[in-house]
Structure 1
């Protein structure tokens, strides 16, 4: 029986190697990826992520290697990405307080979550793929949050890269409302690597300029005084394991991220990079 990983991708654009990097390592280790998107539409790779001439503004260099571009092209149109799970149909929605029969509907919501948690037991871990798209439909998505919380409850690896890491800031128990990464060590986009302009999305001509928030500041606040944010500015990669979380700063970390995720799953790795 195949070992399974649940991979969440945006419907507004994922960065190619942030999927293929960990995906190749996981498949080589015998894992099968099940894909899911917020609305069930097929995920689309951001065009710059398979363009070997694209210059990353903060880094001032081309960031997509010919090897990575070919891997991204080989998967972006693959049948593997056809018919992903639809989170809006699969994961229950928490009701508004103002809804009629709120208490009964809230009870039903928690009952459905229990059923979902039982279904998720077949997965060994969850992967949150980055890119600009997650800013729109993953980061503040209650259904994505509930999946993360379920894997934390099961004490299984929670892997996030680039703006997928931002989901961990907002994934909080609805009653406790405390950051689940409080006291943990994480990495993510440091401010030096944030765009000044050009943050765009698949399916729209919208350019919001810089990202709508500074991920480094949010992560520093969320981990609190007992944890640590590690941007590792100037170092080519930044991958941090503080079980059950593994976080990676950006696309350059994708292969190392995949390798250490496999080490978490198969070799019991609990700490790495700090």
Structure 2
């Protein structure tokens, strides 16, 4: 059976340039939709957070304006997340064994900008997945979690790789760009990523470069998850069959 690790931010805020804390967490749709895609495909999913804390959804993600104007869709996502028992008692991220998983996936929300983006232990975990040639996947602000992954020389593990993430334009459109300490697109480019994005803000954009799988925004979460299923489940079937 294919096994997936979903690594979720453990914080409920993002510190802005003026020192104030913007209430956030993980983005609900970016966890709910991939989780459903993975489990529908028969993948065994483990959810883990730093320290094993119960993760907090960004409640803005349940609002109609972020769900195509539908209050019902936001409530559907909320109900689905509440039905996932593993979210109430996640595993301790620092204690997971890479050998137990076929790939790792990081949902977005501004939370990862606060904790996973600064976590040396998480960077080491990503290096283990990469050294084992296992997919490393992230969507939207979850791509910030790639930043602490370093090689023995301290160089960023994903320098020169093509990827995507929440764009500067999208951050500006949600009103947080002027208040941010740093913007994700800028930081990724500065560390050496070949950053790409959809021609239009909010459009689906999924990029695969070797073992690195990234999606730009919430519209990209389902497509990214389905690509992971296609590549990992099918590959596992072949391996298990001894082909």
Give your verdict on TM over 0.5: yes
**2: CA distance, partners of 1:121 / 1:130:** 24
Q: How does 1:61-100 map to 2 (within 5 A)?
A: 62=68, 66-67=72-73, 69-76=75-82, 78-87=84-93, 90=95
Deviations 1:76-134 (A, max 9, x none): 3532312212235x2xxxxxxxxxxxxxxxxxxxxxxxxx6xx3212000111110111
Q: 1:78 to 1:164 in 2, by over 3 A?
A: same
Partners of 2:2 and 2:233 within 8 A in 1: no
Aligned to 1:157, which of 126, 132, 135? 135
Deviations 1:175-195 (A, max 9, x none): 311121122110112211114
Matched with 1:237 is: 204
Partners of 1:197 and 1:210 within 8 A in 2: no
Partners of 2:7 and 2:93 within 8 A in 1: no
**1: CA distance, partners of 2:69 / 2:115:** 25
**2: CA distance, partners of 1:46 / 1:77:** 17
**1: CA distance, partners of 2:145 / 2:69:** 24
**2: CA distance, partners of 1:241 / 1:79:** 31
Q: Secondary structure at the match of 2:36?
A: helix
**2: CA distance, partners of 1:212 / 1:69:** 32
**2: CA distance, partners of 1:186 / 1:65:** 32
Matched with 1:168 is: 146
Partners of 2:63 and 2:74 within 8 A in 1: no
- 1:167 shift after superposition: 1.8
Q: Secondary structure at the match of 2:188?
A: helix
Deviations 1:15-35 (A, max 9, x none): 011111211111111111111
Aligned to 1:28, which of 40, 47, 61? 40
Q: How does 1:38-49 map to 2 (within 5 A)?
A: 38-49=50-61
- 1:198 shift after superposition: 6.2
Q: CA RMSD in A?
A: 2.4
Q: 1:264 to 1:195 in 2, by over 3 A?
A: same
Q: 1:63 to 1:16 in 2, by over 3 A?
A: farther
More helix by share: 2
Q: Is 1:16 the equivalent of 2:16?
A: no
- 1:47 shift after superposition: 0.6
Q: 1:209 to 1:229 in 2, by over 3 A?
A: closer
**2: CA distance, partners of 1:64 / 1:18:** 17
- 1:4 shift after superposition: 1.3
Q: 1:239 to 1:81 in 2, by over 3 A?
A: same
Task: Using the TM superposition, name which of 131-140 and 76-85 deviates more.
Answer: 76-85
Matched with 2:183 is: 214
Matched with 1:122 is: 100
Q: 1:230 to 1:66 in 2, by over 3 A?
A: farther
Partners of 2:164 and 2:206 within 8 A in 1: yes
Q: Secondary structure at the match of 1:130?
A: coil
Q: Secondary structure at the match of 2:64?
A: coil
Partners of 1:4 and 1:31 within 8 A in 2: yes
Larger Rg: 1
User: What are structure 2's unaligned runs of at least 5 residues?
Assistant: 13-24, 236-243
